[in-house]
Amino acid sequence: MALALPEMDFGEWTVATYASIAAEVDARRGGGRGLVLVDGPSGSGKTTFARRLAESLAGADVVHTDDIAWHLSPTDWATPMLIGVVVPWVHGAVVDYRPPGWIAQGRPGSVTTTATDVLLVEGVGAGRHELAPWACLAVWVQTPPAVARDRVLTRDVGIDGDTRDDVAAFADRWAQAEVPFHLVERPWDRADLIVDGRSDAPGGTVRVVWT
């Protein structure tokens, strides 16, 4: 059985539109480049939230922590993320970066951005302390552990021929790194916005708590 973070009570949920969250991002970046960090447990809905928010931000780019962590470490990837993506982007560069794991494994392509005003970094550990000072908005996506785990099992079965048992075993191994990391980092404590990852609000909206 995979480890799981405890469910946390962040207060009363309110319903927000993605457009209103996008407007808050624009206000916080003050005309400059704005970095948004979207963290949460595996299967919590981080990628979906980041994609929908990016669409409301008129084509903001999204970088996935999984791409930086690939064949490197589930959690020890802060330096390549900062050096290869975040710092160059904040200072105006268009990113075209090959992470260490990609080079070592001969994976083609690179992690890229366009000349956009907003970059979303999403994934497990995105809200870590090394990245947080660079962000205009930090988000924690909260989802009940049982719901998140079921999503992972449903989502990943069949990829590369993996069975449900294969996916469950991988999820358990991943949790051995993810959960202790989150319990030490406590990114929900530095989050500006808590998002309900169950996606049970009406279309175009999400349940949130602003901290």
Task: Tell me the pLDDT tens digit for each residue of 25-68.
Answer: 999 999 999 999 999 998 899 999 999 999 999 889 999 999 99
Angle at 208 between CA 205 and CA 211, to 5 degrees: 145
In tens, the pLDDT along 151-180 reads 877 776 777 777 887 777 777 787 788 889
Average pLDDT over residues 98-108: 98
Phi and psi at 17, nearest 5°, equal -85, 155
- Quote the CA–CA distance of 176 and 74 in Å, as a whole number: 10
- Quote the CA–CA distance of 211 and 203 in Å, as a whole number: 23
Residue 1's pLDDT band, with cuts at 50, 70 and 90, is very low
Strand partners, 141: 195
Domains detected in the chain: 14-210 (3.40.50.300)
The answer to whether the CB of 205 falls within 8 A of the CB of 18 is yes
Judged by DSSP in three states, 119 sits in strand
The answer to whether the CB of 43 falls within 8 A of the CB of 154 is no
pTM of the model: 0.93
- Quote the CA–CA distance of 141 and 40 in Å, as a whole number: 5
